[in-house]
Every structure is written in C-alpha cells, then in structure tokens.
C-alpha cells in the first residue's frame, strides 16, 4: 500500500516517521522549497501527552538530543500593565516542556530525508475505486492508495474533501515575533508567561530558553543531524482589537511594515517593552489575521483522510502541535491494526477520523473560550 502524506509540517513528518518504522511504503510532499523556507520559528509548549506522542516517533538515538534542545516551562504567570506594574499573579500553567518549531521540524526530518520531496505543491486529487491520483502545480501526477492531508490550516486536501468546512477570519489581528533573550528581557518573564494588558491590546510574553544551543547539542549527540543555530529568545504575541484595519496592508510579505505598526502601538510603554519590539528578529516576526475553521464532523471514509491542523483548523497558540502528534500515533495504530488483520482498513480509518474530530472539537471549544477570556480582559481594562 502506497501512502502519500501532503505536508512536511510537524504532523506530517511525525506520521511519516511512524509509518516508515512500521514498514509502510510512504512518501511526503511539501510545497516549501526547504525546511528553512519562510517564518518557522516560534515556541511550542507540550504537555505530557503531546510530549509522549512526540517522543514515540523519534528513534532512541534522537531522544537525548530532543531533551537537550528543550526549554523549561516553570513558575507562575503574571499580568502587568504597559508600565510593568503588577496587576495579578496567575497560577502555574502546566507541567511541560518548550521547543522551537523549526528545531523540532529538523529533528523530525532527520533520517527520513529520502522520502520527503520539497518544492512540490499539491493542487488537487481525483479519487478512483482503486487509488487516488494526485496533481501537482508543476503538472506532474502520482497515484496513491491512501492520501493523508497534513497540509495545515488552509489545507488543499480538506477544501476538496470537505468543501463546506470554511476557515473564517475572526476579525482580529495578531502580531508575533521573537527577540534574542538578553538578561534585560529575561526579567520581563520570571515565570511561564507575562501578559501585558493595555486598553484594547494584549501582549503575551514567553521565554524559549534552550537548555543547550541546538547546533552544539546536535554536533555532540547526533552529528548527522543539522539543527539551526537559534539562540534562546523571548517570544511575544500581540493580540489587537478588531478596528486595526491598516494592518491588512502589512500581512506576511511586509514584516517591516507590520513591525512598525506594532511598535507604534507600544510607543510610550515601559522602555524594556519598547526595546523588546525594537530588537525583534525581523525574519521571524510579522502580523496576520486570526482564523478559526468550522467544526469538522466525521465524513464518509474513503482513501483520503486528514491529520493535524488540516483536520482541526483552530487559531495558533493552543495545543495544535500536540494534537498533530497524537493524530499521527492514532492513525499509525489504526493502519497497523488493519494491515495485521484485526479490522478492515475502512473501519480502522473511520475510528481514527471519529477520534480526530473529537480531539478537534475539544480544541476548538478551548480556542473560543480563550478568545472570550481576552475579550473580557479587554472590556475590563
């Protein structure tokens, strides 16, 4: 059985590793030109279940490297005003570890480079009784027995499979970026997070403190793995009110324009916060609209399925990566059960799709609750 995974993001790579280890014939297709293309670097917090699912797709050899490039998530959070006066202490969040997404993506690629094709953009597919014909932007085609759409929030696969599921703008913009973690900025976040609450704007700060430099750790623990030379950083996310229409002119392709707007919003704030935005790593900062997908309900099972953000399109910041890792473990187990004769492939896939949709529904409810919380904080400030 030939399985083609569309998308070499966190979920697609985790799935491909597991399927290959189980002996399946699997290939991954990715539209980006390389793992370094475009903005990739923000921190990902994983609680124990997501972390266990991530560890389960890595080889024993890579686990010490994973541990070495993690960061601790400890301590209480706090809310402050734009002059850094304490407004409230927040309870510790959860036991977990922090990772940089770009570092994780490189780790997940290590050892399976031969089955990942970059610079290949899926444009659509045709499902037949005996296979699925995939069509790419360069005009080429290939046939698969099973296709897994792991192609993220704007999934081409989902748009064709479930055309009624739309991803809608929430009418809100978010700015995201990172700034190298100097002592001055480390003091801004003594615990797991600091929320700067201003009228109509929230700025969330969180550290990504690597235990060891990723490149140096790889050189010592697994020299065959090339990890980016990313220094520890402070990740910031600015949630803006709906009436910042001028941000629409500064999306993705205009980092400088977007950053300039964010800096103008924070003008007059505490000098440490002004400096934080002034010293942002511009290649890893920008603004964009926040989007939420319609609920995804189980569909008639066939030869095309979904995984990760493609199957549960929720706005960033929740547990999307953890869900993608859990989906990858679940889908692999289902396909192994079908292969080993415990069930039919259709029944195994249907079970996976039900559980995947249930995970998505829970995560969607949490995302909506988080937005309501921010709106409540906004009207209170």
Ligand X SMILES: Cc1cc2nc3c(=O)[nH]c(=O)nc-3n(C[C@H](O)[C@H](O)[C@H](O)COP(=O)(O)OP(=O)(O)OC[C@H]3O[C@@H](n4cnc5c(N)ncnc54)[C@H](O)[C@@H]3O)c2cc1C
Token pair, residue 268, equals: 């007059």
Residue 60 backbone dihedrals phi, psi, to 5 degrees: -50, -40
Shortest Cβ 377–ligand X spacing (Å) = 19
- Smallest gap from Cβ 189 to ligand X, in A, equals 15
CB of 28 to ligand X, least distance (A): 9
Are the CB atoms for 102 and 40 separated by under 8 Å?
yes
> Which residues sit at the interface with ligand X, rule CB under 6 A?
6-12, 29-32, 42, 44-45, 50, 101, 121-122, 150-152, 156, 176, 308-310, 316-317, 319-322, 324
C-alpha triplet 159, 162, 168: angle, nearest 5°: 60
Question: Which residue's CB is nearer to ligand X, number 152 or number 221?
Answer: 152
**CB nearer to ligand X: pick between 221 and 247:** 247
Q: Which is nearer to ligand X, 221 or 237 (CB)?
A: 237
**To the nearest whole angstrom, how small is the minimum distance from the Cβ of residue 71 to ligand X?**
12
Minimum distance of ligand X from residue 290's CB (angstroms): 10
Residue nearer to ligand X on the CB measure, 156 or 305: 156
Distance between CA atoms of 284 and 258, rounded to whole angstroms? 12
Q: Look up residue 192 and give its two tokens.
A: 């797991």
Cβ neighbours of residue 319 under 8 Å, at least 6 residues apart?
47, 50, 363, 366
With beta carbons less than 8 A apart as the criterion, state whether 304 and 321 touch.
Answer: no
3-state helix, strand, coil in the chain (%, to 5): 40, 25, 35
Q: Which is nearer to ligand X, 103 or 221 (CB)?
A: 103
Compute the least distance from the CB of residue 200 to ligand X, in Å: 21
Tell me the two tokens of residue 318.
Answer: 């929740």
Where would I find the H helices in the chain?
10-21, 48-55, 63-68, 101-109, 156-161, 183-186, 214-221, 255-265, 271-278, 320-339, 345-380
The residue among 208 and 221 lying less far from ligand X, judged by its C-beta, is 208
């Amino acid at each position: 059985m030939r399985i083609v995974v569309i998308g070499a993001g966190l979920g697609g790579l985790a799935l491909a590793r597991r399927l290959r280890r189980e002996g399946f014939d699997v290939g991954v297709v990715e539209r980006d030109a390389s793992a370094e293309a475009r903005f990739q670097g923000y921190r990902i917090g994983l609680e124990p279940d997501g972390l266990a699912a991530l560890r389960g797709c890595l080889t024993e050899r890579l686990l010490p490297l994973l541990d070495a490039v993690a960061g601790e998530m400890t301590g209480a959070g706090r809310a402050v005003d734009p002059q850094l006066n304490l407004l409230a202490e927040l309870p510790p969040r959860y036991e977990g570890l922090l990772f940089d997404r770009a570092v994780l993506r490189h780790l997940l690629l290590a050892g399976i480079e031969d089955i990942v094709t970059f610079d290949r953009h899926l444009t659509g597919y045709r499902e037949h009784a005996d296979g699925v014909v995939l069509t790419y932007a360069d005009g080429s085609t290939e046939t698969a027995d099973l296709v897994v759409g792991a192609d993220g929030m704007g999934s081409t696969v989902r748009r064709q499979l479930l055309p009624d599921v739309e991803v809608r703008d929430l009418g809100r913009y978010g700015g995201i970026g990172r700034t190298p973690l100097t002592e001055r900025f480390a003091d801004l976040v003594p615990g797991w997070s600091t929320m700067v609450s201003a009228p109509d704007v929230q700025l969330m700060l969180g550290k990504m403190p690597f235990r060891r430099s990723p490149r140096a750790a790889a050189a010592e623990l697994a020299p065959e793995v090339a990890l980016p030379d990313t220094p520890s950083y402070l990740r910031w996310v600015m949630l803006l009110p709906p009436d910042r229409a001028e941000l629409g002119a500064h999306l993705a392709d205009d980092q400088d324009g977007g950053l300039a707007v964010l800096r103008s919003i924070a003008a007059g704030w505490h000098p440490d916060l002004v400096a934080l935005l002034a010293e942002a790593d511009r290649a890893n900062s920008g603004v964009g609209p926040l989007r939420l997908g319609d609920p995804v309900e189980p569909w008639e099972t066939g030869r095309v399925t979904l995984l990760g953000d493609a199957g549960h399109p929720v706005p960033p910041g929740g547990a999307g990566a953890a869900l993608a890792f859990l989906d990858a473990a679940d889908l692999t187990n289902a396909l192994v059960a079908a292969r080993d004769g415990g069930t039919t492939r259709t029944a195994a896939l249907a079970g996976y799709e039900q559980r995947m949709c249930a995970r998505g529904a829970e995560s969607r409810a949490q995302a909506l609750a988080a937005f309501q919380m921010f709106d409540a904080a906004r009207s209170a400030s």
